[in-house]
Amino acid sequence: MPDTQDQPVERRLVELFRSLGIERAHVVASTSWDWAGLVASHPEVIASLTLVSPGGLDVDLLRPIASKLLVIGGEGDGVARLAASPAMPGAVGREIEGYVGLPWADPARDHTDVMCAGILDHVHATAGGTPPLSVDASEGEVAGITYSIEGHGPPLVLIPLMLAPSQWAPLIPRLRERYTTITLGGQELGFVPLLEDRARTTGYTRLVGSMLDAAGLAPTDDLLEVGCGPGSLLRWMVASERVRRVVGVDINDYLLGEARRQADLEGLGDAIDLRQGNAESLPFPDARFDVTFSSTVMEEGDADLMLGEMIRVTRPGGKVVVIVRSVDIPWVVNAGLPLEVKARVEAPGGGVAKRGCADSSLYRRFRDAGLRGTLMAPQFLPMQAGDGRGVLLRRVLEGMASVLDRDDAAVFADAVDEARNAGLLSVAWPHHCAVGSKPE
């Protein structure tokens, strides 16, 4: 069997479409790395495209299919307004009142009627020439992409919705009444490939490993990861023999499904116990674990509640380990950039929940929660070409380019290419890290 590890997403999607007999499909998606390649290289297979909080819009890329485009965004996030502007003739933009398009937001659950009506209206308006798909309900996998088919009618393909816990599930009962609804997943779509590649990045595992070492983690310890996502770090911990058995909890059942599937594929399922639960109300008794750990999770909810719950389920004398992104320390990009461009791409990022933590307040929170002997350790996650599959670095560079205008983006791309060709390209991502002991 040929190695498809580096096969582009668009090629995987086309292979899936052909396998299912799809000539043209209505596509609903979010993050650009899932759909941009398909738009660029195979626009003929797209009957319509609905984007939910895509983060940004490449007007030049999307303009040729603007008449097929619907963009759904939150209040004031700009993407829906751009879609409805003269720059995108024929496109439709809809803002959802009360919705903020953070990656972990749950629009399908919280705005089911509005989302469903918008998608159904748009697909109906663009349905001409899209034949029904004669496929029975089934599940399977093609080219590393998993699929689940429900309903009858023209094909409607649902690509993962970032970190949303409910994904598309609340909409499917209504969508499948009129369309063959095909829900996609797997290790190659949505946020999963980024999280998986991060765990393959030497700098990240070194960062996490140093904090677990500081906590004195022993192979026989009971460890809980809060917000384990697709289980990337749990599998790394077990495979590297840092610990024999681990428990992971996440609010996102979709990501947990990916975690279970991948753990079984790697023969690690017996060593990894996965539970669904909210980090603000963990489903475990008091003093259950020797070490509780979370990485880039406290940004997404009430950080004090999360920390309190981690302390509650940690035994007296046990350790609490937390890593968060930093929005108060600049990034570092090693490329020959003009100072103005460099300042813009290295500016601290955002995307933090109202009560989340992504700054040095992490250390104060540890103190105020009663943890002792806290190690306060701001660190950089270094990334360079050749790390993992390159997914993390590529996504980071794309995000940096998205804050620039066209001219500066071209300057940035040239500088990055020059640094990469010289073997000097690297990016350092700032994080705040802490280890504290629960009093005896």
Contact between 57 and 83 under an 8 Å Cβ cutoff? The reply is yes
**Same domain, yes or no, for 259 and 382?**
yes
Between 16 and 76, the more confident residue is: 16
What is the rounded (10 degree) CA torsion for 294, 295, 301, 306? 20
**Same domain, yes or no, for 98 and 218?**
no
**Same domain, yes or no, for 66 and 142?**
yes
- For 265-297, b/e burial (b = at least 16 CB within 10 A) is eeebbebbebeebbbbebebeeebbbbbbbbbb
Is 4 inside any structural domain?
no
pLDDT band at 5 (very low <50, low <70, confident <90, very high): low
Q: Which of these three, 125, 158, 185, is where a domain ends? A: 185
Is 2 inside any structural domain?
no
Whether pLDDT at 279 is above 50: yes
pLDDT in tens, 309-333: 999 999 999 999 999 999 999 999 9
What is the DSSP code string of 330-355? --EEES---HHHHHHHTS------TT
**Helix residue ranges, H only, 168-214:** 172-175, 192-200, 202-214
- Among residues of the chain, what percentage have pLDDT more than 90? 90
**Same domain, yes or no, for 89 and 228?**
no
Domain that holds residue 200: 192-437
Which residues partner with 150 through β-bridges?
Answer: 181
Is 149 inside any structural domain?
yes
Is 179 inside any structural domain?
yes
Whether pLDDT at 401 is above 60: yes
- Closest Cα partner for 338 from 435, 429, 410, 238? 410
CATH code of residue 123: 3.40.50
Contact between 197 and 389 under an 8 Å Cβ cutoff? The reply is yes
pLDDT band at 2 (very low <50, low <70, confident <90, very high): very low
Is 123 inside any structural domain?
yes
Is 3 inside any structural domain?
no
Is 1 inside any structural domain?
no
Please give the C-alpha separations between residue 122 and each of 26, 28, 119, 230, 305, in angstroms, as whole numbers. 10, 11, 5, 32, 41
pLDDT in tens, 128-147: 878 899 888 899 999 999 99
**Same domain, yes or no, for 246 and 373?**
yes
Half-sphere exposure of 89 (CA within 13 A, CB side): 1
pLDDT in tens, 154-202: 999 999 999 999 999 999 999 999 999 999 999 999 999 999 999 999 9
**Same domain, yes or no, for 229 and 140?**
no
CATH code of residue 250: 3.40.50.150
pLDDT in tens, 233-242: 999 999 999 9
**Same domain, yes or no, for 225 and 371?**
yes
- Closest Cα partner for 181 from 71, 18, 26, 13? 26
- Average pLDDT over the chain, rounded to an integer: 94
Query: How much is the pLDDT for 130?
Result: 87
Is 350 inside any structural domain?
yes
Whether pLDDT at 387 is above 60: yes
Q: Which of these three, 167, 185, 203, is where a domain ends? A: 185
pLDDT in tens, 60-105: 999 999 999 999 999 878 899 999 999 999 999 999 999 988 899 9
Angle separating helix axes 192-200 and 391-401, nearest 10 degrees: 120
Number of residues assigned to the chain = 440
Distance CA 271, CA 274 (A): 10
**Same domain, yes or no, for 205 and 181?**
no
pLDDT band at 3 (very low <50, low <70, confident <90, very high): very low
Number of domains making up the chain: 2
Q: pTM for the whole thing? A: 0.93
Query: Which residue, chain included where needed, has tokens 């396998």?
Result: 19
H/E stretch holding 121 reads helix 112-125
**Same domain, yes or no, for 283 and 386?**
yes
Whether pLDDT at 350 is above 90: no
Whether pLDDT at 282 is above 60: yes
**Same domain, yes or no, for 174 and 269?**
no
Query: How much is the pLDDT for 1?
Result: 31
**Same domain, yes or no, for 317 and 431?**
yes
**Same domain, yes or no, for 255 and 396?**
yes
Q: Which of these three, 185, 214, 235, is where a domain ends? A: 185
C-beta neighbour count of 171 within 10 angstroms: 23
